[in-house]
Amino acid sequence: MDNKVWSLVRALFVAVLVISVAALGTAAVVGGNWVVWLRGAAVAVASAWLVVLAGQAAHGRRSAYVRIRFVTAAAPVGIVLIILAPDSGYPGWMKVEQGVIGVLVAVVAFTINRRAVREAFPKRGRLR
């Protein structure tokens, strides 16, 4: 497995973590409603977990790879809904923050769904 791929994925997830922690800091300064705090905390925790999973996937752990694939497929859908929802309770600055995170997650999804990466994590019973 190409460690460059997983170094990139890990760096992108660290960027998501930094951005989400910065969003919590922004909420503390400008005041955030419960939706902002809940989303911000959930994204921070999830991104820390994804950093760990990226390390595990880099060592060949298929279950970590599968989890990352699932999250990077589902997360952009939720982010688009947050951005487009007119009465979601999210302020404009957080919609922008979520948009940036969505782009980073989409880059991860694109990267890990390439054929060479998928082939490095065969289903049981299949040869590499």
Angle at 40 between CA 36 and CA 45, to 5 degrees: 155
Closest CA to 116 of 72, 65, 79: 65
Q: Which residue has the tokens 């909420």?
A: 27
pLDDT score at 127: 53
Closest CA to 38 of 58, 24, 54, 17: 24
pLDDT score at 38: 95
pLDDT score at 3: 86
Average pLDDT per block of 10 residues along the chain, 128 residues long: 89 98 96 93 97 97 97 95 90 95 97 95 70
Burial grade of 127 (CB within 10 A; 0-12, 13-18, 19 or more): exposed
Closest CA to 16 of 83, 78, 118, 108: 108
- Determine contact, residues 71/46, Cβ cutoff 8 Å: yes
pLDDT score at 1: 59
pLDDT score at 94: 95
